[in-house]
Each structure stands twice: as C-alpha cells, then as structure tokens.
Amino acid sequence: MMLSTIVIIGVVLYAVFVISVGVISKRQVSNMKDFALGSGFGPIALGIAFSASWFSAGAMQGFTGYAYAWGYSSLWLFLAIFGGATVGFLVIGKGVSRDTDRLKVLTLADWVGENYKSDIMRFIVAAISLLQVFNLASQFSSGGTLLHAILPGINYRVALIAVATVTTVYALFGGMFSDVYTSMGQMLIMMFIGLFCLVSVLGYVDGGFVGMSERLATQNVNLVSFVNPDSLHVYSWQSSIVYIEVVVIFLLSVVVQCLTCTIPYLPVNLD
C-alpha cells in the first residue's frame, strides 16, 4: 500500500472519529451549561484535553519551526509556557471553578463582571475574548497547511474549508463534551508522534543527543547556544530575562494565593 493511500485513510478515519464523538456527545447535552462547560470530567481527562488545546498547532508546527531555525535557544519559549502558564492555571483554576458555581456564571466575562460588580469590566473582558478569533483562525490555517502538505493534491483553500467544517460540526453537536473527548484523542496522537520522532532521531544519529549537538554545532554554533543572535525572540541574554520574568511572576502569584487562600479581586464598583 502506498504511503499516500495510508495517509488518506488516516485522515478519513480521524474525521469520522471526531464527528462520531460529536454525535455521541450530543446525547450528554441537555442545557446551555452542559454545552459550555460539560460535567463529570476527571483530572486526567481534563489535563490531557487542556494540553492538546494549549499546545496543538503551536507545539507541533510553530515551536518545532522555532527549534529548527534557532536551535536550543528556542527552549526559553518552553520555559515560559510550561513554567509560567501551567503554574498560573494551577493557581486560579480551582478558585475560578468554585466561584463560577457560586455566582452561577458560564463565561469568563460574566465571572469577572459579577466578581467586580461591574458591567464595564464584563464588556472589556468580552471584547478581549473576541480576539480569540485570531487564534482560532491560526488553528484552522495550521490544520489546512498540514492537510495540504500531507495531501499535495488538495488545494490549500479546500483543505482549510474541510478542517473548519469538520471542527465546527463536532463542536456544535457536543459542545465541551466534544472538545474534551476529541482533544484527548488528539493529544494521544501528538504524544505518539513526538516520542516516535525523538526515538527515531536519537537512534539515527551516532552518539545520541551529544552526537546531534555536535552535528548542529558544525552547521552553526548558535544552534547549540542558550541565546541565538539570529532568533527573533531570544537573541541576547537580556531578551531571555523576559521569559524568566514570566515564570517568576506566576510563582509569586502562587505565594499570594497560598497566603490569601482566595482569588484576589478589587472589592469596588467600577461602573
């Protein structure tokens, strides 16, 4: 069987999988709260789904592109993401969940509005949330680019429309249930691909990781340096401080959270 045929079968099976999950998940949706938030998810399921949503296209295409172009200096990006963002979610996650139940709200904008007793804050957060449309567009573009790359016979626009259509269908059917269950499948696929690539490369290169570093250094010594002058982000030690600051700020927020045992908010009316 030709590789292109295997790829086509894989793509079709994946599309059938996510749409089937959406249809099955629809049975669990009985109201808007079920659609927007879901229920009954355990920590493992939510953790895997969150990882898939957070890293998906960025990790599989964007960050791998950074690493290919700039070498080891791109690891500073992972420090900020894994250290700062993860700690930040751990700090606010439980408190936000508790407050959403107490305030009986479903969206971040409503949560901020009720917490601050301010419709102005509600509007501001809602407006900021709309900026996520650019993130969504980049996800669709990434999916279209990947589909076009593995199936060259498909036009990019057709691939983009196909990805957007499949995603919209399963999301509309099952809401958050669809999102969590399909994200779990996506993350398992990404974990397998990541481990497969890592083992394959280290097994192919003589000397493993050390040998790979030596070969990179012969191409460009900046590829194995902590900072890379050619990088758009970490081009000097001064620029790397930004990523350290992100982690430090979130770590400080952990201390504040532990001391106050609550989510701090301004007890004033901003209207």
Does residue 156 or residue 6 have the better pLDDT? 156
pTM above 0.75, yes or no: no
Banded pLDDT at 263 (limits 50, 70, 90): very low
Average pLDDT over residues 140-147: 83
Banded pLDDT at 268 (limits 50, 70, 90): very low
CA distance 224 to 14: 37
Best-predicted range by mean pLDDT among 22-26, 66-70, 244-248? 22-26
Write the pLDDT tens digit of every residue in 41-76. Answer: 777 787 777 777 776 666 676 777 777 888 887 777
Residue closest to 4 by CA, chosen among 142, 147, 164, 145: 147
CA distance 49 to 174: 15
